[in-house]
Structure 1
Amino acid sequence: MNANILDLHADPNGPFHGPLAHAFACAVHISVNNGAPWNSPDRGCGCCDPREKREGLAESWGINSAADWRQQQEALLAGTSSNPTGSLLLELRRQASWQTGGAPVQPAMWYQAIAGWCQQNGRDNSVFQQLQGIVGMIVNYENRFVADGLLPPGAVVNDIRAWDLGRGANMARWGVHCGYTDPRTAHWYAARAGELARQYYGSWVEFSAAYILGRCLHFDNGEFGSRYTEPLDVHHTMVTHPQSPWLNIPFRV
């Protein structure tokens, strides 16, 4: 696939190094795709004014107040996935891999782990069949990730918390943009998102693949539409643009 390299903007008054810059670099799938400076300290998009952003958060997130914003912000950083089914399946594959000493897990072994989970938790065959279908979708995404240069050959995605954490870093800026919080509070939440990302992932590429898989499982349903191609363009931009924070900020400081 030919990469579509996007324009990359930076705010001269925003951070370029340190924990807050790292956190905003975790949020680039949203900010760069929206044409906003990747390191803007107070807005994660360049498309709307505060009133329009409040309307957008109300429509897309059900956020209508500062209290709603804080509740959603904390939920994104809570360590529980917005896609519990996808997270469960990846966890079962990790457990199967541990049992084989880290060897790649073939679909048959993954299905066996799912069948065991269904039996232990009283789930019938219809649930097993549904989970099998999602496994097939995950495998298709991972194969496409390799073909599109998002993952190296043989690599898989082990966890999709990145989708919550990347959105959490950006949600912090949206809180300032909407007037729901002050910069100091927002920047604490953003830095916390970056800190959690470093706990779960080892590199920008690993984080990005996890973010994109989480997003696709929620929105794309195996179609490889714009919900996939847009963050893929951001990924290719961030791993090739000479001014990219991914090339200038170590993922693990």
Structure 2
Amino acid sequence: MPPTETERRLCEATARGDWDGQVTAIAGEDLYLAAPQQGQDPLPVYTDPSTGATCIPVLTRGMLPPWHPQQFFDRVSVEELAQDWPNDKWQLAVNPGTPCAVTLLATHAHRAAWMRVRAQVGVRPGGLLATHFGGPLHGPLAHGLACGAPIAVHHSVPWNELGTAFLDHATDAQTLREQWSVVDPASWQQRLDQLLGGQFVPADTEAALRARASAKAGQSGQSGQPGQPEQPGKAKAAAATFEKSEGPAGDADATPKATDASDASGAPAATRPPGIPAPPELVGRYEERFRTDGLLPANGQVVSLVALDYAHAVNLVRWGLGARLCGPQQAELAVQRVGAQAKEAYGSWEEFAAGYALGRLLAFDNGWFGPQYAETVHIHRVLTQDPGSPWRALDFA
């Protein structure tokens, strides 16, 4: 079975003898060219033993080899290959030596055709659910990887990969460096521990949400959130933090009430940008809109924001693997830990999904209901409605 949809389309086109179909299958996709090691030729050319032709080998994403500490790949497109191709005699070998192998002529006329197909197909868009059928599909590792699925969908990469690259070695390292200040294994581990500890979500809003959930569970005779034992003074904290609705439990008006002067990102109210509501009002607005748009049931409420940190933790692991700041065994253990902690904080994928959505919007949308909101709703619907989604295939408990 081909590992991803790209290889499936490529194999089907080859079986039909469809040259245009072969090019179409890869035209919008990332292709991977082996990065030269020190002292090696910049282009990893080889001679095809059956034809004698000189070929430049590239791999589709699903055919990347297992993680190796010294083996890197550069991401290229058909367009880049066509523009920089060295001569008309060399050929393009896609996935050589595999069941998905294709060799394409690369004369000037052929490369012009690649460019035309690329223009027709376009770049692979974000927001797509992708699965690697050779990756984990069941069990604790798959469950942990599924916690990072929103970010995988954002980038349209397989949700269940732990391997050679998230995007590519250079980009993964750049993401860690520029967005997370991670430059070495020690700083990577520090950020991972912080994410696993839920230290990047706004602490006061998180405490208020958990207190509200515990108070609601107490009213209904439940024991509270999974893995969240009652703490001394919990009821008192809840009373101070929430403005209780006079309606039934779960009423839309039962929104968090701030106990301090910090906004959703932890900034003091005095430094909150003009026009940005305080956290209680902001949470209430989002939850009301979530109910309208189907991210929450009619009387549903968000129980925790840590899904955002857990999703980032999974992808910090994937970026760390790509940047060679951690190894496969360390990565698997970390991802499984994410899955276990998610089960402690949430009771279902629906709760996890709503927590991720609210956390993301508090961080990036600030009540504008703009493009970030639209993308968040799209990702939510992909993962909760697509039959191939891990959130539908995997039991949360």
Q: TM-score, normalised by structure 1?
A: 0.83
- List runs of 5+ in structure 1 lacking aligned partners: 119-125
* Partner residue of 2:138 out of 14, 17, 25: 17
**Structure 1 range deviating more: 35-44 or 240-249:** 35-44
Secondary structure, counterpart of 2:283 in structure 1: helix
CA contact (8 A) 2:306 2:355 kept: yes
CA contact (8 A) 2:305 2:359 kept: yes
CA contact (8 A) 2:154 2:379 kept: yes
Given the alignment of the two structures, is residue 83 of structure 1 paired with residue 83 of structure 2, yes or no?
no
Q: Residues 105 and 92 (structure 1 numbering): CA distance in 2 closer, same or farther, change over 3 Å? A: farther
Given the alignment of the two structures, is residue 54 of structure 1 paired with residue 173 of structure 2, yes or no?
yes
Structure with greater helix share of residues:
1
Q: Residues 11 and 80 (structure 1 numbering): CA distance in 2 closer, same or farther, change over 3 Å? A: same
* Partner residue of 1:173 out of 313, 318, 322: 318
CA contact (8 A) 2:308 2:359 kept: yes
Question: Deviation digits for residues 158-204 of structure 1, max 9, x if unmatched?
Answer: 11111111111221111101100001101110110011001111111
Aligned residues: 235
Q: Which one has a bigger Cα radius of gyration? A: 2
Given the alignment of the two structures, is residue 104 of structure 1 paired with residue 250 of structure 2, yes or no?
yes
Question: Deviation digits for residues 21-43 of structure 1, max 9, x if unmatched?
Answer: 11111111100110101111136
CA contact (8 A) 1:96 1:110 kept: no
Secondary structure, counterpart of 2:130 in structure 1: coil
Aligned twin of 2:157: 36
Q: Which has the higher contact order (CA 8 A, sep 6+)?
A: 1
Aligned twin of 2:379: 234
Aligned twin of 2:88: none
* Partner residue of 2:297 out of 129, 152, 161: 152
**Structure 1 range deviating more: 23-32 or 80-89:** 80-89
Given the alignment of the two structures, is residue 200 of structure 1 paired with residue 319 of structure 2, yes or no?
no
Query: C-alpha distance in 2, partners of 1:242/1:110?
Result: 34
Given residue 138 of structure 2, which amino acid in structure 1 is its aligned partner?
H
Deviation at 1:87, TM superposition (A): 0.9
Question: Deviation digits for residues 101-137 of structure 1, max 9, x if unmatched?
Answer: 58236758854xx4xx45xxxxxxx969x89821111
The alignment-based identity, stated in percent, is 34
Q: TM-score, normalised by structure 2?
A: 0.54
Structure with greater strand share of residues:
2
Q: Residues 248 and 94 (structure 1 numbering): CA distance in 2 closer, same or farther, change over 3 Å? A: closer
